[in-house]
């Protein structure tokens, strides 16, 4: 299995990205990655303490991808993702309080406590969807609506795991997006494992995007998903191409999740060596190192930033604890059932 830098990864000019974003914005993006990391750590702890029900899928290890995407593209587009959705909700404006309260199933939560961990939404995030591949047709529909309504400067970003590539809905969506010239950006977050199944036992081609994009006459980009700077540059280029050509693009971001598939998965199918190797390329540590090397950050400032994000999340835990349970009177409100 390929981990780490690879010759076929998207190449970019690091100095250009640094100059383009500047010190303040770079620190703000690192801060967001630390907020995501801290939220996941405290959310998991709350789960272990019996405060959170249902499933819990952590985004730890993959932070650079969605942070780099929103940094490059902005939050005015349509976004869809999987059940591993806490980070994208945060990046698109949901507060730590409303996310934590949703995990706790409280009335003050992002979906009033009705959705839980896998179903977060914002004005721009169409979900948080738990059916593997289920978000791909939705994202394609969102891309169609952009084109139909002639909305300028907008695209539909669809995040999926590599496991979803084996679903029919993925292929039907890419076929239509290509046929109808839709402004869709499909992002395969290839963390190499679909639950306990290795990608190379489930998917016939590797690299995935490189092969499959050819079937649908699309351009593809394969990017190092552990590198914020690479992700930023790749998403910037992808968006520019999509907006210019109104042709869909398939991105494959090579990454690693540092936890099991969900909180109840001890991940025994993965060797300790493989996990250690993956964690040596921690996206937060990589970004920190670059910023320190460029004299934009010190170790002490980094620690302070981390502690500030931890405190925000601890305050969110207290908020969730103190929040009321959904009232049985309003339980059926918003339920769309015949
Ligand atoms: C249609 C469907 N089949 C099976 C499942 C059970 N399931 C949940 S997650 C998952 C693995 C998906 O892996 P991948 O797409 O690689 O995403 P990752 O969890 O690695 O982010 C499976 C099989 C499901 N939710 N939906």
* Count of domains forming the chain: 1
Most informative mutation of 65, 132, 158, 209 for ligand 1 (most atoms within 8 A of CB)? 132
Residue 5's pLDDT is what? Answer: 55
108's torsion region: left (phi>0), alpha (psi -120 to 50) or beta?
alpha
Nearest CA to ligand 1 atom 20: 194
Domain contains 233:
yes
- Of 4 and 46, which is predicted with more confidence? 46
Instruction: Give residue-wise pLDDT tens across range 98-125.
Output: 999 999 999 999 999 999 999 999 999 9
Of all atoms in ligand 1, which is nearest to the CA of residue 167?
1
Residues of the chain with pLDDT > 90: what percent? 94
The CA-based angle 225-26-32, given to 5 degrees, is 70
Residues with CB under 6 A from ligand 1: 82, 84, 130-132, 161-164, 191, 193-195, 261
Domain contains 31:
yes
Distance 64 CA to ligand 1 centre (A): 21
The Cβ of residue 48 has, within 10 Å, a number of other Cβ atoms equal to 11
Domain contains 333:
no
| Alpha-carbon gap, residue 314 to 309, rounded angstroms | 9
Of all atoms in ligand 1, which is nearest to the CA of residue 82?
21
CB hemisphere CA count around 266 (13 angstroms): 1
- Token pair 């679909």 in the structure block, residue: 194
Q: Are strands 197-198 and 249-254 parallel, antiparallel or unpaired?
A: unpaired
Distance 177 CA to ligand 1 centre (A): 23
Who's near 145: CB < 8 A, 6+ residues apart?
78, 151
pLDDT at 18 over 70: yes
| Alpha-carbon gap, residue 143 to 155, rounded angstroms | 6
| Alpha-carbon gap, residue 242 to 257, rounded angstroms | 28
Distance 195 CA to ligand 1 centre (A): 7
| Alpha-carbon gap, residue 68 to 62, rounded angstroms | 11
Average pLDDT, the chain: 96
Domain contains 14:
no
pLDDT at 37 over 70: yes
DSSP state of 333: T
Bridge partner residues of 78 (DSSP): 156
In terms of Cα–Cα distance, which of 81, 76, 69 is closest to 32?
69
**Greatest distance between any 2 Cα atoms in the chain:** 60
Domain contains 136:
yes
| Alpha-carbon gap, residue 338 to 336, rounded angstroms | 7
Domain contains 24:
yes
Residue 153's pLDDT is what? Answer: 97
Residues of the chain with pLDDT > 70: what percent? 98
Residue 336's pLDDT is what? Answer: 78
- Token pair 């978000």 in the structure block, residue: 135
Q: Which domain holds residue 82?
A: 20-45+56-320
Residue 110's pLDDT is what? Answer: 97
Phi then psi for residue 250, to 5 deg, are -115, 120
| Alpha-carbon gap, residue 102 to 112, rounded angstroms | 7
Nearest CA to ligand 1 atom 2: 132
Domain contains 6:
no
**Domain of 178: which CATH number?**
3.40.50.970
Nearest CA to ligand 1 atom 5: 132
Residue 2's pLDDT is what? Answer: 41
Instruction: Give residue-wise pLDDT tens across range 41-97.
Output: 999 999 999 999 999 999 999 999 999 999 999 999 999 999 999 999 999 999 999
The Cβ of residue 50 has, within 10 Å, a number of other Cβ atoms equal to 7
The confidence band for 331, taking pLDDT boundaries of 50, 70 and 90, is confident
* CA 292 remoteness from chain centre: 25
DSSP state of 44: H
Of all atoms in ligand 1, which is nearest to the CA of residue 132?
26
Kindly state the average pLDDT of the residues 155-166: 98
Of all atoms in ligand 1, which is nearest to the CA of residue 165?
15
Bridge partner residues of 222 (DSSP): 252
Nearest CA to ligand 1 atom 17: 161
Most informative mutation of 62, 194, 208, 263 for ligand 1 (most atoms within 8 A of CB)? 194
Per-residue tokens: 171: 């292929």
Instruction: Give residue-wise pLDDT tens across range 277-294.
Output: 999 999 999 999 999 999
Kindly state the average pLDDT of the residues 296-300: 98
Q: Which alpha helices (H) appear in 180-227, and where do they start and end?
A: 199-202, 208-215
Instruction: Give residue-wise pLDDT tens across range 219-263.
Output: 999 999 999 999 999 999 999 999 999 999 999 999 999 999 999
| Alpha-carbon gap, residue 56 to 66, rounded angstroms | 18
Distance linking the first and last C-alpha atoms of the chain: 48
Domain contains 338:
no
């Amino acid at each position: 299995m390929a981990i780490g830098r690879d010759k076929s990864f998207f190449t970019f000019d690091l100095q250009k990205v640094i100059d383009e974003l500047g010190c303040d914005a770079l620190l703000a993006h690192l801060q967001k990655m630390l907020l995501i990391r801290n939220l996941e750590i405290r959310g998991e702890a709350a789960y272990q303490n019996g405060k959170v029900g249902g499933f819990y899928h952590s985004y730890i290890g993959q932070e650079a991808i969605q942070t780099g995407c929103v940094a490059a593209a902005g939050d005015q587009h349509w976004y869809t993702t999987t059940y591993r959705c806490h980070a994208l909700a945060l990046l698109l404006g949901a507060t730590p309080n409303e996310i934590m309260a949703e995990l706790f199933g409280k009335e003050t939560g992002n979906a009033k406590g009705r959705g839980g961990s896998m179903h977060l939404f914002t004005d721009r995030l169409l979900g948080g969807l738990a059916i593997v591949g289920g978000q791909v047709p939705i994202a394609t529909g969102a891309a169609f609506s952009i084109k139909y309504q002639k909305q300028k400067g907008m695209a539909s970003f669809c995040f999926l795991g590599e496991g979803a590539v084996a679903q029919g809905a993925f292929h039907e969506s890419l076929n239509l997006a290509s046929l109808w010239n839709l402004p869709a950006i499909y992002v395969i977050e290839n963390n190499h494992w679909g639950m306990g199944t290795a990608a190379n036992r489930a998917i016939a081609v590797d690299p995935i995007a490189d092969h499959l994009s050819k079937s649908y006459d699309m351009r593809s980009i394969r990017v190092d998903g552990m590198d914020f700077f690479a992700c930023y540059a790749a998403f910037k280029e992808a968006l520019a191409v999509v907006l210019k050509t109104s042709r869909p693009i398939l991105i494959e971001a090579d990454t690693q999740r540092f936890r099991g598939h969900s909180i109840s998965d001890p991940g025994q199918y993965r060797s300790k060596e493989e996990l250690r190797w993956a964690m040596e390329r921690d996206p937060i540590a990589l970004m920190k190192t670059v910023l320190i090397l460029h004299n934009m950050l010190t170790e002490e400032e980094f620690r302070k930033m981390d502690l500030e994000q931890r405190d925000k999340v601890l305050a969110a835990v207290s908020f969730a604890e103190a929040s009321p349970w959904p009232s049985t009177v309003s339980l059926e409100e918003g339920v769309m059932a015949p």
